[in-house]
Structure 1
Amino acid sequence: MPTSTSPAPMPKLPTLTTQAEHLIALGVHDPARLPTHVLRSFAAESAADGALLAVHPDRVPASALAPLLRHGDKPGFVVSDMTDVDRFTSCGIDLPDAPLYLAAGIDRGDHMANWSPEEALPALAEQGRTPLLLTEGIHWVLNQPAALERNRCFMTIGSRLRKPDGTLDARTPALWLSNGTGRDGRERRGAPKVGWCWWRNRHTWLGFASTEGRRI
């Protein structure tokens, strides 16, 4: 089993009302077809500060959320060879049947850095945790930018792409900060990046983000 490292301390998530207001300020409610009062009411009526407020991926996909990410003055983007990003959907995870839901006990999974997705998935299950979806990971960074830092980034292996023959694509989505190399372009150095890694590959700078559970 790969060597683990100690997880970096993470500040507490903003309150749910603060998260809701930030999503509204970013305009997330528009593509999600959610009146602002619905977002505000959901946040106000949920007694679960410390949880992540997420919009169901059926309402707003990763391609619409990624450009809203910011690191310094750099906007987020999806890598150019991931034009099918929105086809990476929930795999083996039951999501609440509601436009808004909460994900509790979010963890970046730093202790799993240098593990492969293939190794991390069963380990998370043994711990009673489930991996984050890509859209959940983006929501997390939108409301807690400190979740994404140089050499401390994360994969979101709760989202997978199922091919027409029923098998799973070997790519697994992740969020990290671009080095500005290759097709990213120098102007994107330090920008939040939605990309992918192989199912059996390890990366020293990628943990595996997960949650204790989801609920309305």
Structure 2
Amino acid sequence: MTGVAFDTVTEFDRQVARLIALGYPELAGTTAERFVRELAPLREAVASLVTGEHDPERGRVAFALVVTRQLVPIEETMPRTTLRGKDKPGFVDRSFEEGALERFVAPDPVSLPNSRAYLLLDVDRGEEFCGVVPADAMRVVADRERTVLTIEEGIALLTLFPEVLVKNKCYMLGGSRCGDRRVPALWISRNAPKLGWCWEGNPHTWLGMASAGGRVAVSPRFAG
């Protein structure tokens, strides 16, 4: 592994602590103590499962703990994101019509674990795809046997590593689609993170395509 040296278990604990500080247990209808306890199997496995570069400043993260909408809705997680050093909450753009977020789900061949909390491994915000047509970027990601990120995964990455979302290095989330040409994306608007979307055929110089090496779920307590 290259990049910033770190202890994986300590990093896992940091991520859990951040989610607790942001109120995730309460939003999930549980206590902080039970939240920690239910994630314990992932903590035990993290050292042996993690591969890849870890350098959040450069948009590369060895792993991120993902809490899906089955535990906490996107409408609740997005306002708990911020830019690094800022306090303005993230928001969902009004271009998502009422009920639209529920229809953005993982298409084939994106395969998600049967779990409401899991690890996303070897994550890259994908700025190499800035200026590339999203549909083309998604094909390249698939050819590399990597996976594009879902909305929840993109929010998890930003929540745990606010430094990954910076001007001209924002990212699309091709792992959540609703059957039309829209591709969700996270970028900066009004000095805060925004969840919006772009057309799959329209390139943007400031939007890359985020991807990951894989997903792992080992927690039976959070099984779907």
User: Which residue of the partner structure matches residue 125 of structure 1?
Assistant: 142
State yes or no: 1:103 paired with 2:103: no
TM-score, normalised to structure 1, is: 0.82
- Residue aligned with 1:203, SS: coil
User: Which residue of the partner structure matches residue 21 of structure 1?
Assistant: 17
Structure 1 contact 109–207 (Cα < 8 Å) conserved: yes
1:63–1:172 distance in 2 versus 1, CA, 3 Å: same
Unpaired segments ≥5 residues, structure 2 = 51-61, 218-224
Q: What is the percentage of aligned positions where both structures have the same residue?
A: 37
- Residue aligned with 1:128, SS: coil
- Residue aligned with 2:123, SS: coil
Structure 2 contact 42–118 (Cα < 8 Å) conserved: no
Residue 58 of structure 1, CA deviation: 2.4
Residue 131 of structure 1, CA deviation: 0.2
State yes or no: 1:153 paired with 2:149: no
Query: Structure 1 runs of 4+ off > 3 angstroms?
Result: 9-14
Question: Structure 2 CA distance, aligned partners of 1:99 and 1:11?
Answer: 29
Question: Structure 2 CA distance, aligned partners of 1:68 and 1:194?
Answer: 12
Question: Structure 2 CA distance, aligned partners of 1:152 and 1:11?
Answer: 23
Residue 43 of structure 1, CA deviation: 4.6
- Residue aligned with 1:15, SS: helix
User: Which residue of the partner structure matches residue 87 of structure 1?
Assistant: 103
- Residue aligned with 1:51, SS: strand
Residue 39 of structure 1, CA deviation: 4.8
Question: Structure 2 CA distance, aligned partners of 1:129 and 1:170?
Answer: 21
Code of the aligned partner of 1:145: P
Question: Structure 2 CA distance, aligned partners of 1:157 and 1:126?
Answer: 14
Greater share of residues in helix: 2
Residue 118 of structure 1, CA deviation: 1.0
Code of the aligned partner of 2:125: R
Structure 1 contact 21–40 (Cα < 8 Å) conserved: no
User: Which residue of the partner structure matches residue 53 of structure 2?
Assistant: none
Post-superposition CA distance 1:100-157 (Å, at most 9, x none): 1111100011111111221111110111101000110000000000110011100001
Residue 42 of structure 1, CA deviation: 3.8
Q: Cα RMSD over matched residues? A: 2.1
User: Which residue of the partner structure matches residue 66 of structure 2?
Assistant: 54
Post-superposition CA distance 1:51-71 (Å, at most 9, x none): 111113322232221100112
TM-score, normalised to structure 2, is: 0.79
State yes or no: 1:190 paired with 2:208: no
Unpaired segments ≥5 residues, structure 1 = 1-8, 162-167, 179-188
Structure 1 contact 17–43 (Cα < 8 Å) conserved: no
Question: Structure 2 CA distance, aligned partners of 1:153 and 1:10?
Answer: 21
Matches within 5 A, 1:162-201: 168-178=179-189, 189-201=190-202
User: Which residue of the partner structure matches residue 144 of structure 1?
Assistant: 161
1:159–1:81 distance in 2 versus 1, CA, 3 Å: same
User: Which residue of the partner structure matches residue 114 of structure 1?
Assistant: 131
